[in-house]
Structure 1
């Protein structure tokens, strides 16, 4: 049986993570892992709901050494919990706050005041084929779907990312704005700490001032792992930004302008990761240097009609991608958007991603999202709707600006102005959320 270490080989007194009260060593992390593993309930499925990134990772590791699966849903709604309980009746919750876990069995993360660290002398080995985590799609275009990942392939993913970013050659201290439960946050904070010796900040800063404080709390060189939503808000806040060595963004396409602004503000390169819950990370690019994506080591693509399949490297099996992809002669590729985002109105085509980039580029717009309802108007044409945060603009001004950027057939009718858009913790607006907004704000009234 092939065995893979829980952590990359390193001295046990090296720093594993940063918390409010200071650094945590690898030995301390392992001691906490074994102490928690001894207290876990009998069920094999652990719903890891810890918001503190360090506690989440201790929960993950405790599950690995005791052969439990860490369930990591992107949403933690009551309906999600009920769905998980229906498919995994032995599930229990690991929590570190007052989260309402309904009637599910629950373990609140204990405080280890006198954990035995003297007997920690080596890093445990985990079977490569052990199911380590169950990730769930975000539900951006439908119902969340579960995907199991084995430990061996997960570790390969961490090595591939560390090699591509160059952080395997020098320790980087990571601040992540993305939840550990999300596939991007999991791969680019938790796994990099475990297998690229990249200590992370245990918190999950959301607001600009909290992100700045978190960056200041860890030593240089620093890596900021974030999303376009968090990055845009951070740059707009006008705060003094600490030095960082690297910025990494994912979960949504990043505009070239935002990438340029981020690199200029931080004086550091910005890279994007492309991937999915199903595949994990697939490719990367430095957005200001090249719009094409370069596959991670060992990953390959093939196309069958208009569907692209990814396999190889750390991807456990061949998986169909949800995006429209153009493979270039040198093996790189251009991303044209999600199949579900493509729009055809009166014979003219575009994508929601393109329209969102155009409306967000309008001066005075701080956030916006197009929505294509399922219903068709009496004239036989489906009308796009847009939800917009733009305090200084009215609908006439916005439409005039958009006419300079998009075909008139794609102008939104109506435009719904809002104080804030209800984005989730990764900056996404799932279709279900947009549909609820549409029904609440627009309904079936043509405006």
Structure 2
């Protein structure tokens, strides 16, 4: 059954189209020799489509043959051993792809570091992850000045140009990728990503999100984030052209989409929210795939009204990879749903909490022994409706107890987010001498809108239980977010 599913999905997405027999043979030989990690995926793409543009960034563009040559030369020039950990502190660019694939080709483990971390946090990450070297963009030089083995942009280019030849032999140990957890509380932990064992993981996603071979894919989500990284993996497997920009700016993104005739966008939800503020819209997208945080109330419908029936929302986590995927049809019928589990994924609700089983569960945190997991809890509360659609009701650790009542702030957030005046909202628990805890609602209004605190309380009072009414209502210009768009509730 899996073989039939894989074959039919690959055929529908253009991966089984006839081609030059020699190139096709080299393509599958590359996967057989190098596996389905980054080094193997790049090599299969370069073998089949060497002159196709692989990546376009702010400065240049590279074909698949050129990206393979440069990443292989960097692998040969890096002074690290297989199994060493190499940190990457980079924004989205062709140079980051070269570094990431070069490290994997060497057999070292790439540690993807959030560009929003402070110098102190970076020092902690360097120590906790035991980094042997750090590759970084020049803008972060001051933050990493104390680390002895750091490789800036100019040095990366020098290493590539000075290498006599590229590394052409697979390492004894395949390089892995370590993604840091979001770090909204405490020091981020490193989660070891598994290497796909075949075509099944790719097909599970592209069966539900209809990305095609040769697509032009704008990856706006940070590549250090699980979703941005996944988008890159999928794009390499599809021999796509990856379009990157170092920084996200809504109006510039719309211009870039049009300039390069992009057909698919990989983003996080807050980016879509910002795109709605741009006066012009690009109607050439077939797919706008988002993940990383919940879609704010009403955003799915508003976005599709403007951009077409192109929105796909993947719910997952660093540890679980994917859990469910909502299609445009799902989001039209039930805008707050997280969708349905894709092929090969099983979701269960145990004591109100979401648990998932699939073929890409993480292998454990760094500092722990690798383990084969069959089920992972996401840390979220949820439920399934009678059509098998999943809904995320909030984080387990977000629950507060006020006067003996259990309250989940997510329910209040969803209610307030649906108000036409509200752009975004975050509800948190704060200490209370009388009740133990109470709710505080933080709202950002749409430009030109007005709303007062008592109107907010009245709206909650009319629709939810009395203990859900926020005592504190605070209006802000913006909510504090990390580099992946998640709200930093600890700062509220």
Indicate the residue corresponding to 1:101 in structure 2. Answer: 144
Distance (whole Å) between structure 2 residues aligned to residue 183 and residue 334 of structure 1: 21
Task: Choose 354-363 or 150-159, whichever is displaced more.
Answer: 150-159
The reply to whether residue 6 of structure 1 matches residue 35 of structure 2 is no
Indicate the residue corresponding to 1:178 in structure 2. Answer: 221
The reply to whether residue 423 of structure 1 matches residue 481 of structure 2 is yes
- Superposed CA deviations along residues 392-422 of structure 1, whole A, max 9, x for unmatched, are 3333343344444443422323222222222
Indicate the residue corresponding to 1:203 in structure 2. Answer: 245
Q: Does structure 2 retain, via aligned residues, the 8 Å contact 1:157–1:187?
A: no
> Which residues of 2 match residues 372-387 of structure 1 at below 5 A?
372-373=429-430, 375=431, 377-387=432-442
Query: Structure 1 residues 102 and 153 mapped into 2: Cα distance closer, same or farther (>3 Å)?
Result: farther
The offset of 1:205, in angstroms, is: 4.3
Distance (whole Å) between structure 1 residues aligned to residue 465 and residue 210 of structure 2: 42
Indicate the residue corresponding to 1:364 in structure 2. Answer: 421
Distance (whole Å) between structure 1 residues aligned to residue 296 and residue 281 of structure 2: 23
Indicate the residue corresponding to 2:342 in structure 1. Answer: 296
The offset of 1:131, in angstroms, is: 4.6
Distance (whole Å) between structure 2 residues aligned to residue 218 and residue 211 of structure 1: 11
The reply to whether residue 57 of structure 1 matches residue 88 of structure 2 is no
The offset of 1:327, in angstroms, is: 4.9
Q: Does structure 2 retain, via aligned residues, the 8 Å contact 1:342–1:350?
A: yes
Query: Structure 1 residues 349 and 277 mapped into 2: Cα distance closer, same or farther (>3 Å)?
Result: same
Indicate the residue corresponding to 2:205 in structure 1. Answer: 161
What is the RMSD of the two structures over their aligned residues, measured on CA atoms?
Answer: 3.2
Indicate the residue corresponding to 1:269 in structure 2. Answer: 310
Q: Does structure 1 retain, via aligned residues, the 8 Å contact 2:441–2:474?
A: yes
Q: Give the number of aligned pairs.
A: 427
The offset of 1:2, in angstroms, is: 7.7
Query: Structure 1 residues 73 and 19 mapped into 2: Cα distance closer, same or farther (>3 Å)?
Result: closer
- Greater per-residue helix proportion: 2
Distance (whole Å) between structure 2 residues aligned to residue 283 and residue 171 of structure 1: 25
Indicate the residue corresponding to 1:26 in structure 2. Answer: 64
Gaps of 5+ in 2: 1-31, 363-372
SS of match in other structure, 2:481: coil
Indicate the residue corresponding to 2:112 in structure 1. Answer: 72
Indicate the residue corresponding to 1:410 in structure 2. Answer: 468
Q: Does structure 1 retain, via aligned residues, the 8 Å contact 2:269–2:485?
A: yes
Task: Choose 275-284 or 313-322, whichever is displaced more.
Answer: 313-322
The offset of 1:274, in angstroms, is: 0.9
Q: Does structure 1 retain, via aligned residues, the 8 Å contact 2:80–2:108?
A: no
The offset of 1:369, in angstroms, is: 1.3
Indicate the residue corresponding to 1:441 in structure 2. Answer: none
The reply to whether residue 320 of structure 1 matches residue 366 of structure 2 is no
Query: Structure 1 residues 370 and 297 mapped into 2: Cα distance closer, same or farther (>3 Å)?
Result: same
The offset of 1:258, in angstroms, is: 1.2
- Normalised by the length of structure 1, the TM-score is 0.84
